Structure 1
Amino acid sequence: MKKQPKEYSVPAIDKTVAILNALTDRHLSIQDIHSTLNVPKSTAFVILNTLEHYSLIQKTPEGKYRLGHGVLRWGIGYMKSMDLVAIARPHLERLVGDTPYTAHLAVAEKDKPVYVDKVEGSGFVRFATKIGQTQPLHQSGVGKALASGMTDDEIAAVLSAELAETPDKIAKAIDKLMDDVRYVRQYGYSIEDEEFEEGIRCIGAPIRNENGHVFASISVTALNKDLPATKFQQIGQSVKETADRISAELGYIGEAPASPGDVPNRGNGS
């Protein structure tokens, strides 16, 4: 008989999920949760207190609990990301189909890029990136593209938190990212030139929703030999045009960023 794979779970998380699932149907008190879900009252109290702190549940005037507005963010984010992936994928396939590049699609989650799709080109190299992986805002093509939709204060706050363990690097990183953001706003694409990993380059571009808000981005990732600095403008324009087409399908009808003219050589940095 074939051996069944071993299942792993965290009891506290199991109980939390059970409580959230139960609250989707009706309002419950701690006693209700204890009796219907067999969760000890003390455990239920701790879980409910934590969920309430994050606005995932809220207490009714009757002393019962119901789902809070915090869960809406998950649901809306899920629906948007699914629509986004379905719309963006054919564009990404065309972008890298006959190239040695890998395309990534990212969304902003707590002001950091998170990969939600990946499309590999026809090359032999396979990059060890995966869906759900986060990237640094200031050292990734998708991150710089997302940062182009943020305010200066937001950028400073994100990098201050991201680099909290190396405070001496914060000011320089903010200045560098602001230069990169100005470049994206002027030319429509970002460049990450071996900043995150030696030998790897990325070019990204922002994706806008129907209101013009930058909420996602795409990028192509390649070995430096396959993406020399002399190709930055050509590939950058292709990535930008792909992002613009995705934005248009999502309902964005505003004026696209200015197209690059004589783009400065950025081979020595992004």
Structure 2
Amino acid sequence: MTARPRSARSSSERPSAGRNSSASLRKALLLLSVVARHGVHGPWLTLGELSDQAGVNKSTVLRLVAPLIEENLLERDAETGRFRLGFGCLQLGQAYLREIDLRTVARPELRQLTRTTQFTCHLVVRSGTNVVYVDKVENESTVRMASRIGASVPAYCTAVGKALLAHSPEDVVAAVLAEPLTPVTPRTITDPDDLRRELRTIRRRGYSIDDRENEPEVRCVAAPIFGVDERVVGALSVSALASRMTPSKVREIGPLAVQAAQRVSGRMGSITGGQGSPEPNGPAR
């Protein structure tokens, strides 16, 4: 009998080996994901808990975690045998975070939000008691907004500013309230207590609304963006003439803005996207 050539045998076996490797990699990544959900400061997982939550039998878990432990992506306590994330994950995260830029990360989401809503979208960051526009994606078929990149406007009378303030520390909010809340339009919120109530509403609802408070004929909806330390780092917004951004449109676009902001937050290193975080402004007043 003539032996089958080695090359033919290797070729026929290669797809199966590839599938097995791919399946093992997916399972290993799943194990990392399960442990990550509990956080570095959360409870260490037992072998049984990791097996149950990942849906992978214990012997397979032990086989797959070995290289993860070797690469410091997982850590196992020598006494209890429990698992948690290793410092290798931190090294990878830091390498990623060194390369990211809010404007670069947010740009695709602004473009998609503009295509979806047919309205103008902005990206802002806080600067003292003001906000600064750092990016803008405009829908060419509609009336252009007067905003421009680099412009600085008060935080208290804009949707983006209120989205930022709603999740900022008390000292930031206090600094804004310490200055006169000068009316920009007849609808600007100028009472500090009213503004605090508005910020609490924003935290509950998830998005903020500028109802002709900064420009007489413009409505705007905004959502906060969070970074790796779960602190607010910016906000994105959708703006249009009030005649087109009707109250029903606001209710429709608000959740879309929140979803876009959460995706940007995730790419900025946030795990929660601001959800479930304690109120940053202290107790209700």
The TM-score with structure 2 as length reference comes to 0.57
In the alignment, is the contact (CA less than 8 A) between 2:156 and 2:181 conserved in 1?
no
Q: Is 1:226 the equivalent of 2:267?
A: no
In the alignment, is the contact (CA less than 8 A) between 2:266 and 2:273 conserved in 1?
no
Which residue number corresponds to residue 188 of structure 1? Answer: 206
Within-5 A mapping of 1:123-142? 123-142=141-160
CA distance in 1, matches of 2:98, 2:175: 26
Which residue number corresponds to residue 230 of structure 2? Answer: 212
Return the match for 1:177 from 161, 186, 195: 195
Q: Is 1:240 the equivalent of 2:255?
A: no
Which residue number corresponds to residue 218 of structure 2? Answer: 200
CA distance in 2, matches of 1:257, 1:241: 12
SS at match of 1:175: helix
Q: How many residues align?
A: 177
Rate the CA distance shift 1:252–1:82 in 2: closer, same or farther, 3 A: closer
Shift of 1:122: 4.4
In the alignment, is the contact (CA less than 8 A) between 2:206 and 2:258 conserved in 1?
yes
The amino acid across from 1:228 in the alignment is T
Shift of 1:81: 11
CA distance in 2, matches of 1:152, 1:176: 16
Which residue number corresponds to residue 166 of structure 2? Answer: 148
Which residue number corresponds to residue 252 of structure 1? Answer: 270
The TM-score with structure 1 as length reference comes to 0.59
C-alpha RMSD over aligned residues: 2.8
Which residue number corresponds to residue 110 of structure 1? Answer: 128
Query: Which stretch shows the higher mean deviation, 248-257 or 219-228?
Result: 248-257
SS at match of 1:226: coil
Rate the CA distance shift 1:128–1:254 in 2: closer, same or farther, 3 A: same
Q: Is 1:92 the equivalent of 2:99?
A: no
Shift of 1:80: 8.7
Shift of 1:157: 2.1
SS at match of 1:132: coil
CA distance in 2, matches of 1:115, 1:237: 22
The amino acid across from 2:236 in the alignment is I
SS at match of 1:97: helix
Rate the CA distance shift 1:213–1:256 in 2: closer, same or farther, 3 A: closer
Structure 1: give runs of 5+ residues left out of the alignment: 1-78, 166-170, 259-270
In the alignment, is the contact (CA less than 8 A) between 1:102 and 1:127 conserved in 2?
yes
SS at match of 1:225: coil
Shift of 1:156: 2.8
Which whole-Å deviations, capped at 9, do the CAs of 1:149-194 have from their partners, x for residues lacking one?
Answer: 22344313223235489xxxxx953222212211221121000100
CA distance in 1, matches of 2:145, 2:98: 26
The percent of aligned pairs where both chains have the same amino acid is: 37
CA distance in 2, matches of 1:177, 1:80: 36
In the alignment, is the contact (CA less than 8 A) between 1:112 and 1:134 conserved in 2?
yes
